[in-house]
Amino acid sequence: MAKGQKKTGKGRLDKYYKLAKEQGYRARSAFKLIQLNKKYAFLESARCCIDLCAAPGGWLQVASKYMPTNSVIVGVDLVSIKPIPRVVTFASDITTPQCRNLIRNELKDWKADVVLHDGAPNVGTAWVQDAYSQSELVLMSLKLAVEFLAKGGTFVTKVFRSVDYNNLIWVFGQLFGKVEATKPPSSRNVSAEIFVVCRDFLAPKYIDPKFLDPKHVFKDLAASVGTDKGTSANNAQANVFQPEKKRRKRDGYSDGDYTLFKKISAADFVKNPDPIALLGTVNKIAFETEEEKEWLALDVTTADVKANCDDLKVLGKGDFKALLKWRIAVREETGIDVKTKHADEITDTVEITEEVDEEQEIQDELERLNAEQAARTKRERRRANEVKTKTIQRMQLQMTAPMDIGMEQHDASLGFGQDDVFDLTGAEKGMRKKGGVANLVGGGDDMPESDESGVEDGIEDEDEEMLDSDEERERKIAGLEAELDGMYDMYQERMKERDAKFKVKEARIKSGQLEEWNGIKEKDSDDEDSDSEEGGWEQMEAAKEKAGADSSSDESDEEDKVEAPGLGQKRPRNEPPALSSKRIKLLTKLKEPQTAAQTSRAAQVWFNQDVFAGIDELRNVEDDTDEDVPMNDQAENEEDGWQDEDSVSGGEQYDDFEVVPQDQDHDIDMWDAEGENEDEVKQAKIKKFGLVTPEAVTIAQQLVNREKTRTQLINDGFNRYSLNSQEGLPSWFLDDEAKNYKSNLPITKEAVAALRARQRALDARPIKKVAEAKARKKYKAAQRLDKAMKKAEGVNATSDMTEREKAQQIEKLMRKGMSKGQREKKEVKLIVAKGAHKGIKGRPKGVKGRYSMVDSRMKKEVRAKKRKEKANKKRKHT
């Protein structure tokens, strides 16, 4: 499996997975026990521990690490556990007496201080073998716990949110002093598991066996299975109408439903008045009786229908719909239902019985049609006028650009489109009128519901089947979302054009992410355009050739078929400008099949238009193949003798358990290259610029001062929102959320002070130009001095001069060689021209050296200037 896939596909290589790998734990679940122990501290004082359902041994490793040396640790599981130092393990079923005997042999007359149970039934291998549900397994582990626990001991168990939950807690409460249910941070939010920590075992002398008997503990609920029909029927409906929802987010076993596998006969399904409730609760529809076998031979019973009947739990909404249609067809075929006659058939009958004059009738019919046509035209004209008026009003309010008028007129003439961005009803109706939706979505031929409803022009179809209206609503919402996405894209595009900063920001964001779609780049420059066109075309040709050569050409054919209407279709003018027709041409598969996630948003907007609704069929096929993946995983896991619970029930997120491969050779596979680069980039930045935010400095200081440990920091980084799925959320929403949806990290005064001090030091440094000028000056001075020295040597060597002359000459040279600053400035004495000096000419009496005659005001000004400079200097230093 590719690195990227591991992370994004299953989304499971999280922090704890990496930590488990780093710290050598066999499963990420090890952190659950670490966190539970951190909260309740039961391992440090324990001398004997039994871990039930312990494979591959993550919890055993933790127990061995945290428990005192020389303590006894025993691990049991259905599958064998690789040896762990200081731990005794054996393979056994904890529900059997044999397991109890093995533990007894091991412990002799010792009692355990802690009994752990992290078991989950191995659902998925075979339905029949899964007789023990999770709750029953918990009860079995409790049975062992009460036998082996010492008084005051601790029992830790995993339970799932289900109707059994309260009963189990009640039983725990009878046997332990303190019972607390908790969900450690490392347990994924999507998982239904909860850990119950039962402390202070009461060790009663006699325990009523009923406490430990599933039949009694879960009795009330078993009784309610029959009575609670209303709820289960509702659940069943939800299962049928939103099968994918159920698959993604499992809240435990459905209420009152403890039998994991249910089969009904095809006759039950066909004859039952509430087929939807049935479909939601059963796993298989079987054809066993003679009558049912005959149905298998019917034309309507296609291979798909047969396959669907085999495993209802893996079906999508489309499949359920197909099954319901099949049921209607069989009912009609077998005479349970009488086929409702079409309107024209009824008219025929009237024709015969009433013997109406044929010509007269044609005449009437023509008149009726003409009247209808006139009414329709009138309605359309009125609607177009309304749209126009609305647009003009919008223009007056400056809500729209004049270009939009054309667009809307165009759409109105088509009868579907953009009357209002937030009103897709008109578009839907328009499409339906033209039979477009029916043709594209259902194929139009085998949809008895819509045929029978007989939609008249302009009349709302109120008797539509629930499934259809649901589908429409979904499509409407999807269309609306796509449109919002498109508008958001356009907005970003405009922002990009206007704002250079935005471009930089976006480029930065992109540098950390994978390109949406590598096939086509959205660039404006002509060069790049032509490049991409050439390259794209060539690649497309090559891809086509390859596809032709491939044996799996069916798939590409199908894709071509799907794309064909898109290419032939006139592009609506309201389409985002980024998707030019040239690009649409390039929307052919270039490198690899485009998944929904890979396809650029622009392409999604395009294909989300109603005219492409038929693509859903293809998408279903693709979805189905996607859903196969966990099954393959499951096969792999089974080969290893280890059941990964995510593969249970066809990839349902059931338990939150994950094995961490210990094989060092596979290390490379584990890490996600993308994530690693991010870290590297961060490290490089920190090295280059240091810590730049007060939050980072606060954390660093806390680490250095040992106020926080690394593990604490990691734990702080996880909250109940951290694993929130962003799947399916529109990009504009995510972008907006990203701005505000941040945890507030604490900042200390010291951190802020440290950062300020650093900033001041940076500010005090001269800017580059000043530093360069200073260096230049220094360099020139050195050169001048050098030159002067050489000349002085020459003077010294000459014999024409006396020593005194030489000295004078050299002094002169050296003075010249010195920089201006170094050269002694001869002080010019300022003599105020007042008193005795007033109006005198020539050197005043008693004044030696250079002098300058000034008036008194200038002297004051010079003094004031000096004072000011001095004061400024002082202020700078403080």
Ligand X SMILES: C[S@@+](CC[C@H](N)C(=O)[O-])C[C@H]1O[C@@H](n2cnc3c(N)ncnc32)[C@H](O)[C@@H]1O
Return residues touching ligand X (CB under 6 A).
26-27, 29-30, 53-59, 77-79, 93-95, 118-122, 137, 657
Residues 111, 153 contacting (CB under 8 angstroms): yes
Given the complex with ligand X, which of 54 and 328 has the nearer CB atom? 54
Confirm if 87 and 64 have CB atoms less than 8 A apart.
yes
Nearer to ligand X (CB atom), residue 30 or residue 330: 30
Q: Which contacts qualify for 400-404: CB closer than 8 Å, 24 or more apart?
A: 404/574
Nearer to ligand X, 53 or 810 (CB): 53
Tokens of 566: 């898109």
Q: Which is nearer to ligand X, 116 or 691 (CB)?
A: 116
Backbone angles phi, psi at 528, to 5 degrees: -65, -35
Round the CA-based radius of gyration of the chain to a whole number and report it. Answer: 42
**What distances in angstroms separate CA 299 from CA 119, 296, 304, 330, one per listed residue?**
48, 8, 12, 10
364 is in an annotated binding site: no
Q: What is the dihedral of CA 632, 638, 642, 648, to 10 degrees?
A: 60
Query: Identity (one letter) of the amino acid at 228?
Result: D
**Chain CA centroid to CA 515, Å:** 16
Shortest Cβ 181–ligand X spacing (Å): 18
Tokens of 458: 């302009």
**C-alpha to C-alpha distance for 108 and 93, rounded to whole angstroms:** 20
Question: What are the residues whose beta carbons fall under 8 Å from the beta carbon of 613, sequence distance 6 or more?
Answer: 437, 440, 441, 475
Maximum CA extent, the chain: 153
According to the annotation, is 614 in a ligand binding site? no
The nearest distance, CB 60 to ligand X, in angstroms, is 7
CB-wise, 387 or 659, nearer to ligand X?
Answer: 659
158 has catalytic annotation: yes
**Which of 28/246 has CB closer to ligand X?**
28
Task: Give the shortest CB-548-to-ligand X separation in angstroms.
Answer: 48
Residue ranges of E strands in 37-175? 48-52, 72-77, 87-91, 112-117, 149-160
Whether 763 has a binding-site annotation, put simply, is no
By three-state DSSP, how is residue 661 classified?
A: coil
User: Of the listed 10, 32, 158, 246, which one is catalytic?
Assistant: 158
State the minimum distance, in angstroms, from the CB of residue 534 to ligand X: 55
**CB-nearest residue to ligand X:** 58
Tokens 């003679």, located at residue: 290
Q: Which is nearer to ligand X, 82 or 378 (CB)?
A: 82
Cβ–Cβ under 8 Å, residues 870 and 848: no
CA distance 774 to 148: 84
Angle at 381 between CA 375 and CA 382, to 5 degrees: 90
| Residue 468 phi, psi dihedral angles, 5° rounding | -65, -45
What's phi and psi for 188, nearest 5 deg?
-65, 145
* DSSP secondary structure code for residue 423 in this structure: B
- CA dist list (Å): 152 to 42, 74, 202, 794, 836: 11, 19, 6, 104, 112
Annotated binding-site members for S-adenosyl-L-methionine? 57, 59, 77, 93, 118
**What amino acid positions are annotated as catalytic residues?**
158
Annotated binding-site members? 57, 59, 77, 93, 118
